[in-house]
Amino acid sequence: MCPVKVHKWADIGDKEKEHMWAAVTDSFTNENMEAYKEHVLDHMKELWRKWRSDLLRYKIIHKKLTLKAAYNASPPDGLNKSEWQWLIKEIFSKREFKGKSLNYNPFSFIMCSEI
């Protein structure tokens, strides 16, 4: 439902966000659903960011895989190979991401490996 191949939440288009919102309104009813829209989308943003962080933590770091090994490995459930490789190459391997990541250890063979 949420796009994978985007660098940040702000890069997700309005059309995609409306699709996500429609999934919520299809499942829940309330007289004043629109009043909750901004809050719900903000919560989705946080969940999306945590999900990507969990992919790094549980599918790479906890398995003690290098980024290169993870790049060549089977993708986690819910992702296809192209999406997984894009995340590793375009997000997890970037210096800016490594600098912001709480999981980053400059001496770690996991995060220092090249693809």
Quick check: is 4 in a domain? no
C-alpha torsion 16→77→42→8, nearest 10: -70
Structural domain of residue 26, as residue ranges? 12-112
pLDDT averaged over the chain? 89
Quick check: is 92 in a domain? yes
pLDDT single digits (tens) 24-64: 999 999 999 999 999 999 999 999 999 999 999 999 989 99
* Planar angle of CA 89, 91, 95, nearest 5 degrees: 95
Domain count, the chain: 1
Question: pTM of the prediction?
Answer: 0.81
Q: Which residues contact 44 (CB under 8 A, 6 or more apart)?
A: 2, 20
